[in-house]
A = this chain, B = another copy of it.
Amino acid sequence: MSSRESRAAIRVSSAGPADPLLVEDLVAANRILAKEGVLDGWGHVSVRHDRDPGRFLLSRSLAPEMVSAEDIIEFDLDNVPVDDRGRDLYSERFIHGEIYKVRPDVKAICHTHAPPVIPFGVTTIPLRPMYHRAAFIAAGVPIFEIRDAAGMTDMLIRDPQLGAALAKSISDKPAVLMRGHGATVVAPSLPRLVGRSIFLALNATLQAQALIMTQGGVINYLDPEEARLIEAREGYGLGRAWKAWKRKALQLP
């Protein structure tokens, strides 16, 4: 479905203006992840609307590093914009709505092509948590094989059916690798989404290093119980990094 077709007929009402701080954090998340090399010119980040769990916020089609508050558009969970004012939309917006539909715990979603995760998407080596910052990986990071869902494609999640297939693949996990494409990460808040997106990529780099160094020998990953205890308290302390990331990304004083 191309960016402007067959949208005119549908009318979606707004949940009202989102909290300006939430919008500011969404802009910050876009720019932080671009600065950290997690998002290239094509990835995107969304957040669930604070007034209505049936709406989410996502930029118009724009490189993440260029996103500002005025680029943010409200969508319903069928990925229909409330008012796009004729602007181009991300062709893969279906990733967002379809996951929000089936994952009420998810408040923020990032779709990324971060280079270090690409090799793990095309081999059979599972991602495992190397250290506390990547504890969420212990829950398991499945690989989405788009061929199983739709045969030969251009790899993009460009319709609701593919979005639903991806949502099914991520199941109750914090992230899913997309074979030959990238990954999608979910979280209960924007700061945790940014943390997970950064550490998914960093853990991939470090795990690859350990695998190569040991030539298949023993690696002492986090124990599932350690990971559970870390995740149970992760909110605390993340604010410290979030403040520094946001300051740099928004060039605050």
Contacts and interface: CB of A to CB of B under 8 A. Distances in A.
A165 to B, nearest CB: 16
Interface of A: 2, 40-42, 61-63, 65-66, 91, 113, 115-116, 118-119, 121-125, 129-133, 147, 152-156, 179-182, 202, 205-206, 208-223, 225-226, 229-230, 232-233, 236-237, 240-245, 247
Given A152-B229, A226-B155, A122 B208 contact: no
Contact of A233 (B154, B216, B226, B236): B154
A119 B125 contact: no
Copies of this chain, whole number: 4
A44 B215 CA distance: 33
B119 A210 contact: yes
Contact of A209 (B119, B131, B226, B237): B119
Contacts of A130: 118-119, 122, 180
Given A155-B230, A212-B213, A217-B123, A63 B241 contact: yes
Given A118-B130, A153-B229, 16 more contacts: A40-B133, A42-B237, A63-B241, A116-B209, A119-B130, A119-B210, A119-B213, A123-B218, A124-B218, A131-B155, A131-B180, A131-B181, A155-B230, A211-B213, A212-B212, A215-B215
